[in-house]
Structure 1
Amino acid sequence: MCHVVKLMLLGLGVNPPVFEVEEKEEDYVIKALSMINGDKGGKGGDQVQFPVVFVGGKLFGGLERVMATHITGELVPILKDAGALWL
């Protein structure tokens, strides 16, 4: 589903940097991202899943959050505020 997020952001005019994670490294990266998200144990709170989207250097969410904010019309203003989109 990473390609869905990437294509949608490209379609909006955002040129997102993409970091691919090898399958064998996924668990380590998920734990690290969970800690960034405020979950010190890496097991509670919101489960971080790929694709993971950062906006303005902050963890934004995954596919569901990106799609939901796009559908409600909230995504473009968020991207503008972060300086990721120039309209």
Structure 2
Amino acid sequence: MEKVNKMASEKPVVIFSKSSCCISHTVWTLFHDFGVNPTVHELDEIPMGPEMEQALSRLGCNPTVPAVFIGGELVGGANEVMSLHLKRTLKPMLKKAGALWV
């Protein structure tokens, strides 16, 4: 869990994903369309991926991917990100984290 928290706090926006997850790609596309360049960690392509996926599950991510962190804080998955976007609170959150300057 310590490794996940460390990686999640290294950049303003971090997404834990799997290369085969189309929902993760959709979340990445949303951020990209805002002009945000999230750091993406593909759990199926890194050595500690399975352990990190278990840690995400213990943090409450269900499903475990995508798991989105903004400003080092767990936001949740695609549903939570889209909900924040629809409530118009996602962009202010991104600005506060230093991921968006507009």
Q: The TM-score by the shorter chain falls in which range?
A: 0.7 to 0.9
SS in structure 1 at match of 2:65: coil
| Residue 94 of structure 2 corresponds to residue 50 of structure 1 | no
* Cα shift at 1:27: 4.6
TM-score of the two chains, using structure 2 as the length reference: 0.66
Larger relative strand fraction: 2
- Between the two proteins, the alignment pairs up a number of residues equal to 79
Who wins on radius of gyration, i.e. which is larger? 1
Aligned to 2:100: 85
**Which residue identity lines up with residue 16 of structure 1 in the other structure?**
P
| Residue 53 of structure 2 corresponds to residue 30 of structure 1 | yes
TM-score of the two chains, using structure 1 as the length reference: 0.76
Q: Where do 5+ consecutive residues of structure 2 fail to align?
A: 1-22
Give RMSD over aligned pairs.
2.2
| Greater relative contact order, per chain length (Cα 8 Å cut-off, separation 6+) | 2
* Cα shift at 1:82: 0.8
Give deviations 1:33-87, integer Å, cap 9, x for gaps: 244x3xxxxxxx5635200101011211110000000011110001111111111
Aligned to 2:27: 5
